[in-house]
């Protein structure tokens, strides 16, 4: 399969998985706070991926990883599996969800910037146009066409969400320097996230078990939204340019809106069709050569 085609198919699979975030965050945090929810989700991700690494024969490769390389992987785990979600869950808990969603999806824009600086990828007008259309689609979805409704009611928390988005973008770009097996690497990412979230849970919160009603959300978040999606995202990043993949991720809010309609009974507004046209247009422009 052509590397660009492979990367496109994998990022679209990731988009489908990531679109479940609003639903699992809603149902998974009825009694758990952001530290507790992040810990249990990270633990599920680590255990599931660790078992996958064991059964696929990847785990023995851990012995060949040098200490310096292991430290780099741990830093990436903190950036992409801990800091990003810690600030994101905080945002949804303390700020308007619409505002959080806008700044959450600045990470594809940060990817284009970091790819230009760190990977020396060319930021063509094609990519700029695709990113612009994609972000416009996100704004249309979260504002329902009323752009004045985003007024930053909690700027300190929104700033943290933006920092989290930049953290995930930096994680994505730096992940291209990791040449180890994706299953093993992502297992280590979530091992780091589980340890970090365990420490922050005891430091900033309290130890708490998920309620019975929260367990399905924790499992779906740990296995699908976070766990296996990161393996596919890592493979996609290895297959093609990070700045090429970034615009496709703007499809996520559209699918999230569909999930909210299906699971939470929210209305699918006609303005979402305009957003979808912007995002599809951006994707088509991005997929062209040049």
Q: What's the chain's average pLDDT?
A: 84
CA 136 to chain centre: 19
Place of tokens 């006609």: 270
Does residue 275 have a pLDDT over 80? no
Query: Between 247 and 167, where is the model more confident?
Result: 167
Can you give the residue ranges of every domain in the chain?
A: 3-287
Cα–Cα dist 254/175, whole Å: 26
The reply to whether the predicted model has a pTM over 0.85 is: no
Say what the pLDDT of residue 262 is.
Answer: 74
Cα–Cα dist 38/204, whole Å: 13
Give just the sign of the alpha carbon dihedral 127, 128, 134, 135.
Answer: positive
Q: What is the CA radius of gyration of the chain?
A: 18
Cα–Cα dist 274/280, whole Å: 10
Does residue 159 have a pLDDT over 50? yes
Top mean-pLDDT range of 118-132, 190-204, 242-256, 264-278: 190-204
Cα–Cα dist 140/195, whole Å: 38
Helix ranges, the chain (H):
3-18, 21-28, 34-55, 67-77, 84-94, 97-104, 107-114, 125-143, 155-174, 182-204, 215-220, 229-239, 242-245, 252-264, 271-287
Smallest CA-to-CA distance from 127 within 27, 249, 246 is with 246
Does residue 141 have a pLDDT over 50? yes
31, 214 Cβ separation under 8 angstroms: yes
Say what the pLDDT of residue 264 is.
Answer: 64
Cα–Cα dist 31/208, whole Å: 9
Smallest CA-to-CA distance from 257 within 133, 151, 164, 138 is with 138
Does residue 69 have a pLDDT over 70? yes
Residue 152 — very low, low, confident or very high, per pLDDT cuts 50/70/90?
Answer: low
Residue 79 — very low, low, confident or very high, per pLDDT cuts 50/70/90?
Answer: very high
Collect all residues with Cβ–Cβ distance below 8 Å to 68 and sequence separation of at least 6: none
Cα–Cα dist 114/241, whole Å: 12
Cα–Cα dist 123/112, whole Å: 7
């Amino acid at each position: 399969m052509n590397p660009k085609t492979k990367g496109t198919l994998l990022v679209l699979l990731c988009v489908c998985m990531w679109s479940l975030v609003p639903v699992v965050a809603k149902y998974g945090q009825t009694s758990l706070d952001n530290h507790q929810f992040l810990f249990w989700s990270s633990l599920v991700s680590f255990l599931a991926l660790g078992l996958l690494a064991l059964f696929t024969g990847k785990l023995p490769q851990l012995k060949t990883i040098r200490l310096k390389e292991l430290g780099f992987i741990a830093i990436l785990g903190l950036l992409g599996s801990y800091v990003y979600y810690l600030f994101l869950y905080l945002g949804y808990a303390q700020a308007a969800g619409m505002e959080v969603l806008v700044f959450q999806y600045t990470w594809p824009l940060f990817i284009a910037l970091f790819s230009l600086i760190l990977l020396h990828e060319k930021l063509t007008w094609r990519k700029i146009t695709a990113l612009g259309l994609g972000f416009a689609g996100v704004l249309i979805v979260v504002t329902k066409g009323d752009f004045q409704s985003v007024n930053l009611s909690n700027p300190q928390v929104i700033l943290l969400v933006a920092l989290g988005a930049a953290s995930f973008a930096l994680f994505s770009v730096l992940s291209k320097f990791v040449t180890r097996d994706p299953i093993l690497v992502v297992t280590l990412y979530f091992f780091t996230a589980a340890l970090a979230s365990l420490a922050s849970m005891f430091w900033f919160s309290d130890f708490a078990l998920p309620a019975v009603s929260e367990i399905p959300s924790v499992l779906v978040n740990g296995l699908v939204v976070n766990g296996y999606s990161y393996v596919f995202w890592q493979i996609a990043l290895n297959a093609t340019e990070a700045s090429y993949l970034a615009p496709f991720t703007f499809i996520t809010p559209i699918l999230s809106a569909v999930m909210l309609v299906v699971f939470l009974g929210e209305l699918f507004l006609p303005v979402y069709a305009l957003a979808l046209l912007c995002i599809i247009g951006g994707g088509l422009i991005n997929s062209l050569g040049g």
